[in-house]
Amino acid sequence: MTKTLVIILNHNLPEYTDWLYHSLVNFEKDIYELKVMDNGSNPDRVLPYTHIRLEENLFWGGALNMAFRLVLEDTIYDSLLFLNNDIELTGEVFVKGLRAELFNHDFAIVSPCIAGRAQPWKQMQNWGSKSTRTVRWIDNQAPLFHRKLIESIGQFDPVLFYGWGQELICMDVCESNEWKIGVCDHITMLHYGKQTILQNSLFNVEKDIHSSDTSTPVTWREFQNKAMESYVNYFIDHPIEGWTFDDLRAYGENYTYDPFCTR
């Protein structure tokens, strides 16, 4: 029987990771395998039950490529759930519910919705739909990827190591294959957002500098400028056919959905 590989990504925030891990570990059964991936944390911020330890901070995008590789190397995995550690969820039903939507309703990616305000993409909020909403693309706080999409992509371009842009590449591949992407309003999570930076726990914005250099924490503005530069330049060089970069961002900023519309 195949199962989901569930990875919680930790970088210098063991308290968040520990809570999320223990909210999920008792419900693995035979449908998922839970692992903590440490992404170059300082030695005193690595959890003792870490399963995968990356010696340097590969950032979100680099760590996702490592997770894709783990799925590709083992056919026991039919999907990958890649979790930011600064989220809260209902462990008893979280993975089971997402798997049901992915496999029973023919999606390539599904995501829980996010409670509260847009962060910043409005398609990720709870719009009250009784069924999974098909969307153009999702933000990647807790994506469940079908194996077929992972096999199709293989690895993301390493220049996107900050983790901005993978969502649009997934959209492009799914559109090319007529695969669906969905957000589940009946499966909700809280996302605190940017906690590694806000907790002064990120100390560089260059992948080739070891994370043990803990001289000065990186600010959100410093990270945002670096990530945005990489993001924009990538899609200048690799435009998505049929879309402009600005149109795709505007979709997330202006998204709306009315489950009560009778038209």
Per the CB < 8 A criterion, the answer to whether 226 and 162 are in contact is yes
What percent of the chain is predicted at pLDDT more than 70? Answer: 94
Residue 141 neighbours by CB under 8 Å, 6+ apart: 83, 84, 87, 111, 114, 124, 189, 191
Q: Summarize the confidence of residues 5-12 as an average pLDDT.
A: 96
Q: Summarize the confidence of residues 46-73 as an average pLDDT.
A: 96
pLDDT of residue 165: 95
Residue ranges of domains in the chain: 3-254
Condensed to tens digits (0 to 9), the pLDDT of residues 173-196 reads: 999 999 999 999 999 999 997 677
Q: The dihedral of CA 107, 108, 113, 119: what is its sign?
A: negative
Range with the poorest average pLDDT among 107-116, 120-129, 187-196, 211-220: 211-220
What is the number of residues in the chain? 263
pLDDT of residue 215: 65
pTM as predicted: 0.93
**Of all helices (H) and strands (E), which one includes residue 94?**
helix 94-104
pLDDT of residue 219: 83
pLDDT of residue 221: 86
pLDDT of residue 200: 66
What percent of the chain is predicted at pLDDT more than 90? Answer: 82
Residue 244 has pLDDT above 60, yes or no: yes
pLDDT of residue 263: 52
Q: Tell me the pLDDT of the chain averaged across its residues.
A: 92
pLDDT of residue 181: 98
Condensed to tens digits (0 to 9), the pLDDT of residues 146-173 reads: 999 999 999 999 999 999 999 999 999 9
pLDDT of residue 77: 98
Taking alpha carbons only, the member of 257, 8, 246, 25 closest to residue 125 is 257
Per the CB < 8 A criterion, the answer to whether 15 and 44 are in contact is no
User: Which band of pLDDT confidence, cut at 50, 70 and 90, is reported for residue 260?
Assistant: confident
Residue 209 has pLDDT above 60, yes or no: no
Whole-number Å distance between alpha carbons of 187 and 189: 7
Residue 117 has pLDDT above 80, yes or no: yes
Per the CB < 8 A criterion, the answer to whether 105 and 41 are in contact is no
pLDDT of residue 182: 98
pLDDT of residue 211: 45
CA angle 187, 70, 145 (to 5 degrees): 30
- What single-letter amino acid sits at 132? T
Residue 179 neighbours by CB under 8 Å, 6+ apart: 107, 108, 146, 148, 149, 173
Whole-number Å distance between alpha carbons of 3 and 28: 10
Task: Give the CATH H-level superfamily of domain 3-254.
Answer: Spore Coat Polysaccharide Biosynthesis Protein SpsA; Chain A (3.90.550.10)
Q: What is the DSSP string of 161-212?
A: TTS-SHHHHHHHHHHHHT-EEEEEEEEEEEE--SHHHHTT----S-TTS-TT
Residue 262 has pLDDT above 70, yes or no: no
